[in-house]
Amino acid sequence: MFDLIPLRKRQEDMFGQMLKSFQDLSDDHWLSPFGGQTFRTDIREEKDRYLVEAELPGIAKENIHVDVDNGYLTIRAKRDDYTEQKDDDNRLIRRERRSGEFVRRFYVDRVDEDGIQAKLDQGVLKLEIPKRPGPDARRQIQIQ
């Protein structure tokens, strides 16, 4: 029989399908070293420190830079991949290059910058960031 969906509804569905296709494409791993998104990061705040774990698979530690400035923790990761494949006669068959730089920034309060410890273990950057002693910067606001 006939398709009785109003024309306007068809256009909305078409736009939604196009948007979904674009999102699926952007999630493909070939678009970026981190699968179309920034690297995943877990942050836990404890009474005396912050614990940060950032997933950086395949990134060498010399390509990871961490700094703290004005209360902001910044993690930068850069990847340059170069692949070349040749045949038996040393002729180039395939050459691929891909590079990317990713940055994440987080606000951290009362940080003891001299006590920060960092370790890269099997593609996971682990940071232990101690807090400076002192009063907690948070305060309860009374609503009147």
Q: What tens digit of pLDDT does each residue of 48-65 get?
A: 999 999 999 888 899 999
One of 3.40.50.720, 2.60.120.260, 3.30.70.1350, 2.60.40.790 is the CATH number of 39-130, namely 2.60.40.790
Furthest-apart CA pair in the chain: how many Å? 82
Neighbours of 52 (CB within 10 A): 23
Confidence of residue 96 (pLDDT cuts 50, 70, 90): confident
User: Model-level pTM?
Assistant: 0.62
Domain boundaries, the chain: 39-130
Q: Which range, of 17-21, 76-80, 85-89, 138-142, averages the lowest pLDDT? A: 17-21
Check: CB of residue 130 under 8 Å from CB of residue 117.
no
* Residues sharing a CB contact under 8 Å with residue 54, sequence separation 6 or more, in sequence order: 39, 40, 41, 42, 75, 77, 104, 124, 125, 127
